[in-house]
Structure 1
Amino acid sequence: MSDNQLIKYQKKSISIVGMGWLGLPLGKFLANRPYLVKGSTTTTSKLKDISEAGVKGYLLTLPGLEHSKDFFDSDILVISMPPSVNQYDQVIDSLLGAIVTHQVPWVIFVSSTSVYPNIGGSVSEEDAVDIASPHSGVQLLQIENLFRDNRKFDTTIIRFAGLYGPSREPGRFMAGKKDVRGADIPVNLIHQEDCIGIISQVIEKEIKGQTFNACAPEHPNRKDFYTKACRGLGLEPPQFNSETAPFKIIDSSKLIKKLPYEFIHKNPLLDL
């Protein structure tokens, strides 16, 4: 076999930081394709789950990420780590240092649509502002820019909307709540299966240097969605009042056109 043929059949290596609700099934999905997949965790007990997913597990804790040479010896680094983790800013700084030290060529950073203000209408990728996430308090646009502005590696940013899927049933978030505003405002959600499909297609098609919104293209209203979601789980639906609430509609048309990507779960209401 020639050297060119050997290069052709070498597996591309992918390292995933954060083997949680999204990272673990993503790793399992990619490991069943022509990729060598590595996954990091801060918990020793999680290493078994990672191994069972067909992924090579690494225990990485602060400080010392820059010394984890084998983990960072990859073609692609996927950062799938919620900003609610302890010492998030410090972890990001350590990751950036390790990426540069080990010359990782491409980073896929999983971000959030919390970078958009509630403007009462549709928002696209250019509408992001430097605001703190209402859930974690982290200013994700600043974090994105640390990766985007670094010229020592390529970066792709994927901003996911509200996540739902296995073990993450939206009805549990709203069950039994009283006097809830915003019955008619649209929901912005994306299923785990589409998150994995989008990341895998970005990798397969080598879409670098781009920022994408990732949200189901249909947006049922809050009352219809959460009432059905709660009833499907046998829980008490929330009670909505007549007051409106601030909102935004996440526009994923760039993602749909540029990849292109066809959503598996176009309308979250139909999954309930």
Structure 2
Amino acid sequence: MEKTLISLGHGYSARYLAERLVPQGWRIAGTTRDPDRFGALRAQGITPLLWNRDAILPWLENASHMLVSAGPTETGDPTLALLGPDIRKHAAHYDWVGYLSTTGVYGDAQGGWVDETSPLTPSTERGRRRVTAEALWADIPDLPLHIFRLAGIYGPGRGPFSKVRKGTARRIIKKDQVFSRIHAEDIAQILEASINAPAPGRAYNLCDDDPAPPQDVIEHAAVLLGVTPPPEIPFEEADMTPMARSFYAESKRVRNDRVKTELGVNLKYPDYRAGLAAVLAAEGSEK
């Protein structure tokens, strides 16, 4: 059977997976709400689809694989709202379904370690929506679901260098605050490894080996650029949007043993130092 992927909510992470699969002969369709993206998607070898049922349904019915990147909103899961009955109807037809979630489902561990067996105790509204969405997808009978809980995503165009260059980056200091993160290329290789070794019902944490305080990442980016790191700002004094402040509501270190032991993945960028060096090289030394 021809390998065909329907990518629902085709965004940054899905693009990196497509870059691995298209050269192998995969047929991929990616959805977008913006028709202005059609040209860019076609240039990547992807068939663009507008976010409506009529456009998506022929691919949904014939795909062998499905990747779901569209996150839940205040009104619920957008994919299930649009296509829920269709997905249920064709659930057993798929070889693999991947749902991109977030490590925010674990909530605040006060800097401690969490793994895939840790309780789901989110402390933010975004995290609670993800827990609900994960459960809704898991409740679909016969769906070969794989849940991927992503830490903070970075990569070319999503690194700290632009803000550091512009002088808008900030080193916000909150005692004992630590985050995990993952390079987009490692997300893609983990997804491909799962596609090649399906284990329906499994959840995987996608993160690197080196959880670190956010201010350390900004400082290292400045060092790589050869500029003075921005000054430290105490969290209590920082002017932040509610969204930005919510990221500091949770502190945890995320374990990634399962992707290594079960999927045989060796991370290309096991820490932010290796990842940032690659991002800088990809973006070019000058912008």
TM-score range, shorter chain: 0.7 to 0.9
Structure 1 residue aligned with 2:200: 208
Structure 2 residue aligned with 1:37: 28
- Structure 2's unaligned 5+ residue stretches are 237-247, 277-287
Answering whether residue 38 of structure 2 is matched by residue 47 of structure 1, we say: yes
Residues 107 and 121 in structure 2, CA contact (< 8 A), matched pair in contact too: no
Which secondary structure state, in structure 2, belongs to the residue aligned with residue 107 of structure 1?
strand
Residues 108 and 123 in structure 2, CA contact (< 8 A), matched pair in contact too: no
Percent sequence identity over aligned pairs: 22
Structure 2 residue aligned with 1:271: 275
Relative to its length, the structure with more helix (as a share) is: 2
Structure 1 residue aligned with 2:84: 96
Structure 1 residues 57 and 162: CA distance shift in structure 2, 3 A: same
Give the letter for the 1:239 counterpart: E
Answering whether residue 258 of structure 2 is matched by residue 254 of structure 1, we say: yes
2: CA distance between counterparts of 1:216 and 1:203? 20
Deviations 1:6-44 (A, max 9, x none): xxxx42111111222112232232111142222111211
Structure 1 residues 28 and 245: CA distance shift in structure 2, 3 A: closer
Which protein, 1 or 2, shows the higher relative CO under an 8 Å CA cutoff with sep ≥ 6?
2
Structure 1 residues 239 and 248: CA distance shift in structure 2, 3 A: same
- The CA deviation at 1:230 is 4.0
Residues 231 and 237 in structure 1, CA contact (< 8 A), matched pair in contact too: no
Which secondary structure state, in structure 2, belongs to the residue aligned with residue 158 of structure 1?
strand
Aligned residues: 258
- The CA deviation at 1:170 is 3.4
Give the letter for the 2:190 counterpart: I
Deviations 1:72-101 (A, max 9, x none): 4211110022446x8553433323222123
Give the letter for the 2:68 counterpart: I
Deviations 1:157-205 (A, max 9, x none): 00010000010013539944376323x5333000000001011111112
Deviates further, 64-73 or 101-110: 64-73
> TM-score, length-normalised on structure 1?
0.82
Which secondary structure state, in structure 1, belongs to the residue aligned with residue 80 of structure 2?
helix
1: CA distance between counterparts of 2:235 and 2:68? 41
Deviations 1:99-145 (A, max 9, x none): 123444232101100101212200011224253646x4652111001
- Structure 1's unaligned 5+ residue stretches are 1-9
Structure 2 residue aligned with 1:193: 185
Residues 17 and 23 in structure 1, CA contact (< 8 A), matched pair in contact too: no
Deviates further, 35-44 or 196-205: 35-44
Which secondary structure state, in structure 2, belongs to the residue aligned with residue 187 of structure 1?
coil
Deviates further, 123-132 or 155-164: 123-132
